[in-house]
Structure 1
């Protein structure tokens, strides 16, 4: 108890600074300072908790960066041959001239810095950390204060005599005193005094009257306090309250009083003892889950941008292939018309060629429209207006086709599944949530015990009317108490335990289902990669076959052994094969990236580019084997 009183004396010695600190706290912070303070705390929290999350951006920030496309290489046409090379774009060519050409690397950088969905996910993580900072504050000193004041005015009735009444009341007595002092005959002055007194009585000149007066007083009170919650469940609270009263009318009396108190509440037995620690633990884990979830989102986001980028190029290549087919059918139509005029072909055959020429033109126009739509959608994905001039680097797709496929994985499917269990962040989340459910069940079981707590309090007051902070610690009060809740109503405890058991069973089933889905996703990705590899080889061979077929049929047509219709059919097949080859090349690359993602070893750099996964794979397989 002496220690607690000594602590109160220390608080009292600092209490004189409380009003100044309160004014500084209320008026000394601007919006900018609050924002800077929140940013410093949130970024520090994320940096600390991200240390154990592979692939998390260490320079996380939600500050938006202005994107400029100036200074980038642009689409220019210097010669007529270059213009003819791009004539498959039709009127859309004018939109591309002078527009910046962006590579996949640049597209990823723009998407990370400017993408709306990406920015929203960053802000969501920021808000999660901001909410955690509020929970964490409960376990540090929390200061609270308030003040109020009031000016009170009341009226009351007062009985009093006017000045005339006071003169009339005093006149008879004054006349008698004059007679005694001057020696004037008493009968005369006495008669005069009696006359005045009678006149006063008749006129009620000396009658009192009721007056209304105001009473004004100024009152106020202040309260300052601090509290801290310990992880062991103890709560320590300090409070300083002061009251002030001053009368502004009549007797200017002043009354002041203050009280300084401290309390300690400590749970000794029961669930409350561990509840405080659990709240902080769960808040920390929830923030960690948010960081892991955002890190995995970054991986999915980069793959999504790459997929959209390649799909736009694939659509552009389809426009080129359909344009070449359309131009070829135009030449075939001109040839057929000449043959009809020469009597070498019937009008029926000419009509078939005209129909195929119209169909090829429609296919080109449709492909061009699809390309423009996909490009505009990609601009929105990057956070750019659709009116922004933009061209994707077609060499990205050309390199894919020329370089061929990426090498096949040098590991087995079972290896991939084991690595996923060691590397996937969402696997960690599901596993840790199962641990959370087990911990909550243990806390619910602990609730079966009665709640026993200890309360210790001490206070000291000032002497009324003296200095508001002049505490008299010789006159103090303290108390020591205990609380007991035997929990006679067991239904709440029963329901909590039963609910925790169900929640744990649900978490176990969710984890088991997640493991099954994880293995299913890996098997699906593995099969998709194999299928994409086979499809690419098939389409590559199909292009070769149809190229040879078209060449052969054109020669035979010159010799008159095949009809134009056979050549047209072969040309349509060649266009379809070329489009399918472009699609197969993109599918194989994306299937590879999806496999790395499902294994959890696709790591994203700050600019959105993915790292080479070879070294990561070797490290993980070494750990797995050991």
Structure 2
């Protein structure tokens, strides 16, 4: 055999370096890893949210650099430029873009889904690769005596039965720098299986971390969606209170305008001797009181607007106005009976409420914890199978029987000392009881809250009807008193009292309407039937259909 020239065998180190360079080049940058994580997490969140929301909006934890609040803060939009009138849905979006609790909730959901990606990874194929190089010397000087390098690649995977599979291949080279000019290559192949046969056997035990991670994402999505509804309601509550303050100011200004006319008329009548000075002073006194009322109402409105601008994340210097047609639409829709009994509403709530569904599902989690803790009480018996092969020296692709090794073994751990496992099992039983109590307590709390909400809805409806009749009566009284006053049959005080009562009645009617509307929204929120769409905050049609089906 013609010996292979050294020059033909020396490229091996170059090949190893090429492999290492290619492997290193295949690694991602930090920003690419971030994008990869975002893509995977956002896909999980979108899939889970679609189970609970008909048309979920895009989800991201990145701050909105183009939000209206940011544009005001950055100076892109001058603070002197007024904003509005803006509607309720737009206000909800503006607030959600800057609210810190919304951001915290989003980040919590993101991190929970991120944990799931790792749990899925643990039960998938996990590749690995590496390389090493060593230079060795033994003389007193700095002269090296030998050099070695190696590369390896492999994988591992956990199966549903609990078995762990590990495989690897490796290539190494060695050269004695004082005695040889050639590299001596060698390769190896290894494969092993570890299978638990007693404790830890089966998919129910093995896949529990993945199962819990999947369920944690579902819980967090439910909590996030419930928070979104609660958050939207809180913005709606503030929004309609501002509209109520607008209406109160408008009533006060209208009353002041009428009192100015009355005061001027009384002065003219007094100058002609047809009206006493007392009645003139009465009109003036009420006019002054009305001016104070306008000032107070305007101050109240401005305070509510400042607080609302803060909720929207807007600078307080911005002149904000709201879409008052939102209140007009509520007035036009009027008051409608819910048309369902308390038992029907409670039954629907216990079916739809995300927090209650989480509490019930956590009972199942606790039951699985008990099962796993009971499994840990058993002894463990593991089956180990190893197969390894090493190539012939200098021939990395040549294998023979002398380089082949295998082993089969059993590893038994008798359940003699199980104090820690015993305590874990007992603790799991206690946690199960606590989870059952928590779900039962929440069901009772939901029922009590809904019954109180339904009673409040009835009382708000009655208050609205009363105030509606009160306004009609006050308007008729003002009309008749005005006619009698012009005919000289009543005094100024009678007309002033009638107009004061009309202002009070109108303010009370608006307050009663807003109270009823918010009580209705709160009820839909509490039965998980509140939807924010493109135009309004409204009840979920699917929930209303479910209530109707229950009636039938």
Unaligned 5+ residue runs, structure 2? 1-14, 69-78
* Superposed displacement of residue 330, structure 1: 4.9
The corresponding residue for 1:344 is 276
Q: 1:102, 1:391 within 8 Å by CA — same for their partners in 2?
A: yes
In structure 2, the CA distance between the partners of 1:63 and 1:17, relative to structure 1 (3 Å rule), is: farther
Q: 1:108, 1:609 within 8 Å by CA — same for their partners in 2?
A: no
Q: 2:81, 2:318 within 8 Å by CA — same for their partners in 1?
A: no
Is 1:42–2:26 an aligned residue pair? no
Counterpart among 522, 525, 530 of residue 458 in structure 2: 530
In structure 2, the CA distance between the partners of 1:361 and 1:610, relative to structure 1 (3 Å rule), is: closer
In structure 2, the CA distance between the partners of 1:515 and 1:403, relative to structure 1 (3 Å rule), is: closer
Question: 2:130 & 2:491 partners in 1: Cα distance?
Answer: 97
The corresponding residue for 1:367 is 297
Alignment of 1:580-599 (within 5 A): 580-599=508-527
Is 1:617–2:547 an aligned residue pair? no
Moved more, 504-513 or 547-556: 547-556
The corresponding residue for 1:104 is 88
Is 1:443–2:375 an aligned residue pair? no
Moved more, 518-527 or 27-36: 27-36
1:270-315 per-residue CA deviation (whole Å, 9 max, x = no partner) reads 2465432111111111111122222223333333333332222112
Question: 2:366 & 2:529 partners in 1: Cα distance?
Answer: 28
In structure 2, the CA distance between the partners of 1:420 and 1:19, relative to structure 1 (3 Å rule), is: farther
1:489-508 per-residue CA deviation (whole Å, 9 max, x = no partner) reads 22112211210111011011
What is the DSSP-based 3-state SS (H/G/I as helix, E as strand, rest coil) of the residue aligned with 1:269? Answer: coil
Counterpart among 349, 352, 355 of residue 426 in structure 1: 355
Q: 2:529, 2:539 within 8 Å by CA — same for their partners in 1?
A: no
Question: 1:576 & 1:472 partners in 2: Cα distance?
Answer: 103
Moved more, 120-129 or 578-587: 120-129
Alignment of 1:305-454 (within 5 A): 305-330=235-260, 344-345=276-277, 350=281, 357-405=287-335, 407-454=336-383
What is the DSSP-based 3-state SS (H/G/I as helix, E as strand, rest coil) of the residue aligned with 2:197? Answer: strand
The corresponding residue for 2:113 is 129
Question: 1:48 & 1:292 partners in 2: Cα distance?
Answer: 13
* Superposed displacement of residue 27, structure 1: 4.0
* Superposed displacement of residue 264, structure 1: 1.0
Is 1:142–2:126 an aligned residue pair? yes
* Superposed displacement of residue 539, structure 1: 1.7
What is the DSSP-based 3-state SS (H/G/I as helix, E as strand, rest coil) of the residue aligned with 1:44? Answer: helix
Q: 2:82, 2:320 within 8 Å by CA — same for their partners in 1?
A: no
* Superposed displacement of residue 268, structure 1: 0.9
1:334-382 per-residue CA deviation (whole Å, 9 max, x = no partner) reads 67778998893369x94x8766555543432333233233334434444
In structure 2, the CA distance between the partners of 1:224 and 1:488, relative to structure 1 (3 Å rule), is: same
Question: 1:151 & 1:335 partners in 2: Cα distance?
Answer: 111
Q: 1:264, 1:455 within 8 Å by CA — same for their partners in 2?
A: yes
Question: 1:282 & 1:393 partners in 2: Cα distance?
Answer: 46
Q: 1:125, 1:290 within 8 Å by CA — same for their partners in 2?
A: yes
In structure 2, the CA distance between the partners of 1:98 and 1:379, relative to structure 1 (3 Å rule), is: closer
Question: 1:112 & 1:101 partners in 2: Cα distance?
Answer: 19
Q: 1:116, 1:381 within 8 Å by CA — same for their partners in 2?
A: no
The corresponding residue for 2:3 is none
* Superposed displacement of residue 509, structure 1: 0.6
The corresponding residue for 2:192 is 263
1:20-57 per-residue CA deviation (whole Å, 9 max, x = no partner) reads 49834654534554344334433433344445435462
Q: 2:200, 2:206 within 8 Å by CA — same for their partners in 1?
A: no
Question: 1:63 & 1:595 partners in 2: Cα distance?
Answer: 33
In structure 2, the CA distance between the partners of 1:26 and 1:383, relative to structure 1 (3 Å rule), is: farther
Counterpart among 486, 490, 497 of residue 425 in structure 2: 497
In structure 2, the CA distance between the partners of 1:479 and 1:541, relative to structure 1 (3 Å rule), is: same
**RMSD (Å) for aligned C-alpha atoms:** 3.8
In structure 2, the CA distance between the partners of 1:110 and 1:469, relative to structure 1 (3 Å rule), is: farther
Q: 1:112, 1:608 within 8 Å by CA — same for their partners in 2?
A: no
Question: 2:123 & 2:20 partners in 1: Cα distance?
Answer: 22
In structure 2, the CA distance between the partners of 1:562 and 1:36, relative to structure 1 (3 Å rule), is: same
What is the DSSP-based 3-state SS (H/G/I as helix, E as strand, rest coil) of the residue aligned with 1:600? Answer: coil
* Superposed displacement of residue 432, structure 1: 0.9
Is 1:278–2:208 an aligned residue pair? yes
The corresponding residue for 1:301 is 231
Moved more, 539-548 or 519-528: 539-548
Size of the alignment, in residue pairs?
Answer: 525
The corresponding residue for 1:542 is 470
Alignment of 1:70-219 (within 5 A): 99-108=83-92, 110=94, 117-151=101-135, 156=140, 214-215=143-144, 218-219=147-148
Query: TM-score scaled by structure 2?
Result: 0.81
In structure 2, the CA distance between the partners of 1:471 and 1:524, relative to structure 1 (3 Å rule), is: farther
Question: 1:429 & 1:371 partners in 2: Cα distance?
Answer: 41
Q: 1:109, 1:608 within 8 Å by CA — same for their partners in 2?
A: no
